[in-house]
Amino acid sequence: MTYTQEMSNMALTITRNKRNSVDGSRLTCFRTVKFTGTYPAGGEPFDANAQCGLKSVEKVHVGAGLPEGFDVRYNHATKKLQLFGESTQATGNAVDEPTAVAAGGRAAIEFANNFDATGITALELIITGTRS
The per-residue pLDDT for range 59-72, each reduced to its tens digit, is 999 999 988 878 89
Quote the DSSP letter at residue 27: E
pLDDT of residue 8: 37
The per-residue pLDDT for range 86-132, each reduced to its tens digit, is 766 544 455 555 544 445 556 678 888 888 888 899 999 999 999 87
Which amino acid type is present at position 32?
A: T
Q: How far apart are CA 104 and CA 86, in angstroms?
A: 11
| 53 vs 7: which has the higher pLDDT | 53
Q: Provide the phi-psi class of 8: left if phi over 0, else alpha when psi is between -120 and 50, else beta.
A: left
Cα Rg, the chain, nearest whole Å = 15
pLDDT grade, residue 7 (50/70/90)?
very low
Q: How far apart are CA 84 and CA 91, in angstroms?
A: 16
- Give the pTM: 0.78
The H or E element spanning position 129 is strand 123-130
pLDDT of residue 93: 52
Helix (H, G, I), strand (E, B) or coil at 109: strand
